[in-house]
Chain A
Amino acid sequence: MDLLVILILLGVGYFIGNRRERQHYADIKRREKQTLHVPIMSWGAKQDLPYAHESQMFVGSVVVANDYFKTFSAGLRNLVGGRVTVYETLIDRGRREAMLRLKESAIEWGASQVLNVRFETSNIAGQSQGGMGAVEVMAYGTGIR
């Protein structure tokens, strides 16, 4: 009985999770192409920033949830060690989505470049034992025009 529940959760996690992941990646790639014309620049502390009339802080943030299949795979991975490949896509999607949201709001404002972008991640878990949770990825940077 317990095994059946686990198998159902795994199946739901795998099929739905995988489908959404593929859709999300397709969406990310499309939007990345659209926003490609605005460069993301990083400058050192002692370098002069490019000249700008106006500047504004932009924040893009996203919360991506884990699915049971990923949790289970990662749990098994914990036993043997090594790359947690199932989480790589999760985090990758989070970073790119956050960056896209930042860029899209900067483009709407009319930015020509976005400077010194930083990432923050935080774990939204702990409500339940067993590690089912979500990860928040936030990107922030200075848009100039």
Chain B
Amino acid sequence: MKYVPREIVDEVNVTPVHPLVNFGYLVGTVVLATLAIYVGLGVVGAQLATRMGPEAEGKIGNVIFENVFSSMSLTTEGTDYEYLETLADSLKSDALKQRPDLKLHILEESAPNAMVSAGGYIYVTQGLLDNVESENELAFVLAHELGHYEHRDNLSSIGRSLVLLSLNSALSASGVRLPSFLTGSMGLANLHYSRDQEQKADVYALEIMNARYGHVDHTLDFFKRLNEDELDLGIADQLLEWQSTHPLTESRIEYLEDLATSRGWAIEGAPTELPNRQ
């Protein structure tokens, strides 16, 4: 057989697609998929936050505690702690009794603050304990946090992470683990609430205050003091920190005072003293 050289004309090994078209298709697909997942997670997260059972909530709370808070300096003993724990437990509404038990921690932190995380984890800073002047003030702050807890604000605020965390705890039984960047501390400490959520928590707290003390006097003193001290630079820092998580502005104080009047709650009353502390 005679060899007849023939030129290669067709490029069978190269797919005839322009690299930019290919690139555009890829970027488009990935962006769309990411968007769909993001939106989907948001929707599922919001649904989960309102429907999650106490057991699942407890598990998620433990994971968040391990990831975010367990490395901070926490106190869970002492007379202050026992007093706080009893106080917090007495502020639970009936609905909260169906939810995971409160797990109180005192944070060694000088800025006054308090927060509640999923699963009933409540954190109160030492700064708050040092700054309150009556039990009413402290009880209002605690009750406000319990309000967030009852309304599941702390669950909805972590939204998308909640889905991944639930998935992870569901899968861990079968030995499958999600990559840690999905379940890491990303957004788990996100405890920013909307104005509406804050207001509902305030109303919860004030109702409890009225039921417990028979009046709502002195409950807001702590915030009024913070607001007055705004110009004092030392406190301004702490105030900023407080307001970044819980802005209790003039308008919210006014709203609460109007609420108390309209519901016929006693505006005046004697403060309940804090137990003697060293």
Q: List the interface of chain A (C-beta within 8 A of B).
A: 14, 18, 32-33, 36-37, 39, 69, 72-73, 76-77, 79-80, 83, 85-86, 88-89, 91-92
**List of 5 A-B pairs having minimum Cβ-Cβ separation, nearest first:** A76-B26, A36-B5, A85-B15, A39-B3, A92-B13
Residues of B within 8 A of A89 (CB): 14
User: How many residues of B are in contact with the other chain, CB < 8 A?
Assistant: 19
Q: A37-B5, A76-B23 are in contact. List 18 more A-B contacts (CB 8 A).
A: A36-B6, A39-B3, A69-B19, A73-B19, A73-B22, A73-B23, A73-B26, A79-B30, A80-B30, A85-B14, A85-B17, A85-B19, A85-B22, A86-B19, A86-B22, A88-B13, A88-B14, A88-B15
Whether A32 contacts B7 in the complex (CB less than 8 A), given A76-B27, A80-B29, A88-B13, comes out as yes
Instruction: Kindly provide the distance from the CB of B238 to the nearest chain A CB, expressed in whole angstroms.
Output: 34
What 0/1 readout, one digit per residue, does chain B (19-58) give for beta carbons within 8 Å of chain A?
A: 1101100110110010000000000000000000000000
Residues of B within 8 A of A18 (CB): 19
Residues of A within 8 A of B20 (CB): 14
Does B173 touch A at the CB level, under 8 Å? Answer: no
Residues of A within 8 A of B7 (CB): 32-33, 36
Whether A80 contacts B26 in the complex (CB less than 8 A), given A32-B7, A32-B8, A36-B7, comes out as yes
Residues of A within 8 A of B17 (CB): 85
Q: List the interface of chain B (C-beta within 8 A of A).
A: 3, 5-8, 11, 13-15, 17, 19-20, 22-23, 26-27, 29-30, 33
Residues of B within 8 A of A32 (CB): 7-8
Instruction: Kindly provide the distance from the CB of A111 to the nearest chain B CB, expressed in whole angstroms.
Output: 13
Residue of A nearest to B23 (CB): A73
* A–B Cβ pairs within 8 angstroms, 9 of them: A32-B7, A36-B5, A69-B19, A73-B19, A73-B22, A85-B17, A85-B19, A89-B14, A91-B13
Q: Given B8, B15, B19, which contacts A14 in the complex, CB threshold below 8 Å?
A: B19
Q: Give Cα A84–Cα B15 distance, bound, in whole angstroms.
A: 9
Instruction: Kindly provide the distance from the CB of B33 to the nearest chain A CB, expressed in whole angstroms.
Output: 8
Residues of A within 8 A of B15 (CB): 83, 85, 88
Q: Give Cα A80–Cα B26 distance, bound, in whole angstroms.
A: 8
Asked if residues B30 and A39 are in contact (CB atoms below 8 Å), the reply is no
Q: Give Cα A37–Cα B2 distance, bound, in whole angstroms.
A: 12
Q: Give Cα A32–Cα B6 distance, bound, in whole angstroms.
A: 10
Q: Give Cα A72–Cα B177 distance, bound, in whole angstroms.
A: 28
Instruction: Kindly provide the distance from the CB of B27 to the nearest chain A CB, expressed in whole angstroms.
Output: 7
Residues of B within 8 A of A76 (CB): 23, 26-27, 29-30
Greatest chain B CB density within 10 A among A33, A69, A76, A88 is at A76
Instruction: Kindly provide the distance from the CB of B103 to the nearest chain A CB, expressed in whole angstroms.
Output: 40
Residues of A within 8 A of B11 (CB): 92
Instruction: Kindly provide the distance from the CB of B19 to the nearest chain A CB, expressed in whole angstroms.
Output: 6
Instruction: Kindly provide the distance from the CB of B151 to the nearest chain A CB, expressed in whole angstroms.
Output: 38
Asked if residues B8 and A69 are in contact (CB atoms below 8 Å), the reply is no
Residues of A within 8 A of B33 (CB): 79-80
Instruction: Kindly provide the distance from the CB of B168 to the nearest chain A CB, expressed in whole angstroms.
Output: 21
Q: Give Cα A39–Cα B23 distance, bound, in whole angstroms.
A: 38
Residue of A nearest to B21 (CB): A85
Q: Give Cα A72–Cα B22 distance, bound, in whole angstroms.
A: 12
